Amino acid sequence: MTTTAAAAGTRRHTGTYPAEPRQVGLARAALAGWLGLDGGSQADEAILVASEFATNAVVHSASRHGGAFTLRAVVSQDRLRIEVEDAGGPWRDGPRDDGRPHGFDVVAAIAEAGNWGIDGDERGRVAWARFGR
C-alpha cells in the first residue's frame, strides 16, 4: 500500500490486493482509513463504489485466476477520484432479468452519468469514478 502527497494538497493512495473475495473488504477498509475525514461528504459513496469495482474485478475479471486488482484514490481540494484496475477478460454485458440492481447499476445511481466509466479491454480494465466538482 502506498500513500503519497503531491502538489497543492493532492494526496494519492494505491493498494494492490490478491483477487480473492476476502480482499475486497480489506481494500474497502484501507480506503476508508486512508480517506478519514479528508474524503469529504462523498467518502462513503466513494468507498461503496470502490467496493463494487473491486468485487467486479474479483468475480468477473481475468484477475480471479490467481491475479490481483489495484485500488487507487486521489483527493484534491474539490475532487475525489477512485479507480480499480484488473486483468480484463471477456466482457459480458447484456440484459439482466432477475429484477434486482447489479454493481454497475449501483455505481450509476451514486456517481451519476459522466462521473464514472470503464476503460480498457480484455487485456486489462480500469473502472473509475469521480466525486465533487
Domain count of the chain?
1
Q: Which of the two residues, 93 and 19, has the higher pLDDT score?
A: 19
Q: What is the CATH number of the domain that holds 86?
A: 3.30.565.10
Read off the pLDDT of residues 80-106 as tens digits, 9 standing for 90 and up.
999 999 999 986 655 556 666 567 888
Question: Which triple of cell numbers denotes residue 23?
Answer: 480482499
Residue span of the structural domain in which 45 resides:
2-132
Read off the pLDDT of residues 112-122 as tens digits, 9 standing for 90 and up.
889 999 999 99
Nearest-angstrom CA–CA distance, 25 and 23: 5
This prediction has a pTM of 0.85
Class of residue 26 by CB neighbours under 10 A (exposed 0-12, middle 13-18, buried 19+): middle
Alpha-carbon 114 to chain mean position = 16
Specify the pLDDT at position 58: 95
